[in-house]
Amino acid sequence: MHLQGHVHEEELWLGSQSGVGPRLRVLGRSLFGMEEWGEKGQRQKRLHGYSAGEIAVRESSRTVRIWPRVAAELHGGGWHVTKDPASKLDDDEALPRGDLVGPSGRRPTEPSRHRSPLERRLQAWERIDRRALERLTSALSTDELSRFYDGAAPRWSHAIEATGVPRRLVVADVVHALKSRNESGVGTIALLIGPGGEGKSTALLQIAASMVDEPGWKVMWRPDPDVVMDARAVVGLPEERGPYLLVSDDAGQLVAELLTIKDLCVRQGRTDIHFVLAARDTDWTAARGEAQAWGSSLVRFPMRELSPDDARSVVRAWQRLGDTGLRNLALVHDEDGRVQTLLEASEHTGAGRGSFFGALLSTRFTAADLRAHLTTVLTRLGDRKPNGDVLRRGFVATAACAAIGLDGVNRSVLGSVAKLGRGFVLRV
C-alpha cells in the first residue's frame, strides 16, 4: 500500500503494473499546510482536507474503503470541512469499495485509463441523460405531491411528473431560447431570477429534463453548492461532442467563473457551451452579477409574477388530488374562482418577496393549518441528523428576519442571532 498526501486530488487505485503484484494507491489532501504555492504571479491554491480509511480483512474477502473530505475556505472567514464534491461517493459517502482479494482469490485487473485532468475537474457534475433520469426518479405518491404543494424542495421525480407538477411558461421559453440561439451560433447563459419561493428550482430541473431528449445535447448538472465549476475544464470540453448545457442553482456563487468562461469562449470561438442557472435576486445582486458586462450572452428570465395561464395549470394540478391538493381553496367551488383567488393572492403578497409561495400559503392554509404545518416543519428539521437543532434555529432566525422585511440578511449577523457559530452559515 502506498499512501500519498500533500496536494493531491482524492483517488483510490487498485491494480497491478509492469508485472508486479496487486498494489493499492491512495491519494488525498493534507489537513495542514501553506494555503498557496507556486512562483510569484502564478500562485495556486493548495488543496486541503483529509481522508479516513478502512481495510476490512474477512474470511472470504479483503476490502478497502476511503472517506475523502475537503476543507473549503469560507468567504466570511474560517473553513468548512465536508464530503469531497469532486468524488463519486456511495450512499455511505465513501469512494466505491475496492476488493483487495476477491472471494475467488483472483488478483485485481489492470487499471482502466484515467480521466484527463480537465475531465476530472468536472467529474462532480452529474451527466443527466435518459438512463440517469430513470435511475434518479420514481413515481410520486399522493403524500409526496402534497408535500411538494406545501413547499417541499423539488427532486428529479418532480421534473418529469407529467400531470401532478405544473410547468410554468418560462420552461418552454428557456428551452426555445437555448435551441434557437444554438442554431444561430450564440452561446447562452439563461438566468432564472426572482425572489425565493417563485419556483425557480423546479423550473430549472424541468428545463434540464426537457433538454435531455434534444438530439446531441449533453446535459450536466451541478448537484451541490459545494461543487466547483472550473473554467478551464468547461472550455476544454471536446468541441465535436456538444452542444453542452450546464445547469446549476445558486448561480450567485458562479459569477467570476461564468465571466471567465464567457471571455474564453469568445476568444476560442466556442458557441456550443450553454448554461441554465437560477438565483434569488438578492443573491445575484450581492455577488455583483448585475454589475458585470455580460453583453448578449446573459438572457434573464424574471420569475416574479404568476400569469393567468400559470395560475390555471397550478390549480388544475391541485385539483387532481381533490381536497388534499386544494386544502382551504376547496371552499371555492369552481376552477375559474380558484384561479382568480390564487392570482389575487399573488398580487397581494408580491412586492418582490415571493408572490407565488406566499399565494400558495394564503389560499391553501387557514391560520390554524399554517401553525400546524409550521410545527411539522420545525419537528422534521429538529429530527434531522446531524445538527437538526442547528437547522431549526437557523430556519427560525431567517423566517423572523423575513417577517419584518429584512431581505438579504448578512451571514455573520444571522449566524450570531441563531447562535450557529463562526463560518457555519454558507447561504441565507
pLDDT, one tens digit per residue, over 286-302 is 899 999 999 999 999 99
For residue 227, pLDDT over 80 is answered with: yes
Closest alpha carbon to 358 in 368, 373, 343 = 343
End-to-end CA distance of the chain: 44
Tell me the pLDDT band of 8, cut-offs 50, 70 and 90: low
Burial 45-66 (b: 16+ CB within 10 A, else e): eebbbbbebeeeeeeeeeebbb
User: With bands split at pLDDT 50, 70 and 90, how would you rate the model's confidence at 277?
Assistant: very high
Q: How confident is the model at residue 16 (pLDDT cuts 50, 70, 90)?
A: very low
* 31 band by pLDDT with thresholds 50, 70 and 90: confident
Which residues have a Cβ under 8 Å from the Cβ of 395 and sit 6 or more positions away? 377, 378, 381
Round to whole Å and give the CA distance between 108 and 272. Answer: 40
pLDDT mean over 100-112: 39
Spatial separation of the C-alpha atoms in residues 145 and 377, rounded to whole Å: 16
Q: What is the pLDDT at residue 58?
A: 67
262 has pLDDT over 60: yes
* Grid coordinates given for 1: 500500500
Residue 15 above 70 pLDDT? no
pLDDT over 90 at 255, yes or no: yes
Q: Is the pLDDT of residue 115 over 60?
A: no
Of the listed ranges 176-180, 181-185, 405-409, the one predicted with least confidence: 405-409
Please report which confidence band the pLDDT of residue 273 belongs to, taking 50, 70 and 90 as the band edges.
very high
Question: Quick one: average pLDDT of 253-263?
Answer: 95
Q: What is the mean pLDDT of residues 188-204?
A: 94
Mean pLDDT within 57-84: 73
- The span from the CA of 18 to the CA of 8, in Å, is 24
Cβ(116)–Cβ(25) under 8 Å?
A: no
Above 90 in pLDDT, residue 279?
yes
Cα separation values, 143 from 163, 165, 325, Å: 15, 13, 10
pLDDT > 60? residue 354: no
The whole-number pLDDT of residue 272 equals 96
Residues 192, 279 contacting (CB under 8 angstroms): yes
Locate cell 445558486: which residue? 250
What confidence tier does 353 reach under pLDDT thresholds 50, 70, 90? low
Residue 263 pLDDT > 80, yes or no?
yes
The structural domains of the chain, ordered by start, are 2-114 (no CATH), 126-302 (3.40.50.300), 308-365 (no CATH), 369-417 (no CATH)
Mean pLDDT of 205-224: 95
Please tell me the predicted confidence (pLDDT) of residue 3.
57
Mean pLDDT is lowest, of 192-201, 324-333, 391-400, for: 391-400
Name the range with the highest mean pLDDT among 113-127, 199-213, 235-249: 199-213
Residue 163 or residue 192, greater confidence: 192
pLDDT, mean of residues 337-342: 96
Q: Residue 425 above 70 pLDDT? A: no
pLDDT digits (tens, 9 = 90+) for 369-404: 989 988 988 998 888 877 788 788 888 887 887 777
Residue 94, pLDDT score: 73
What pLDDT shows up at residue 157?
A: 95
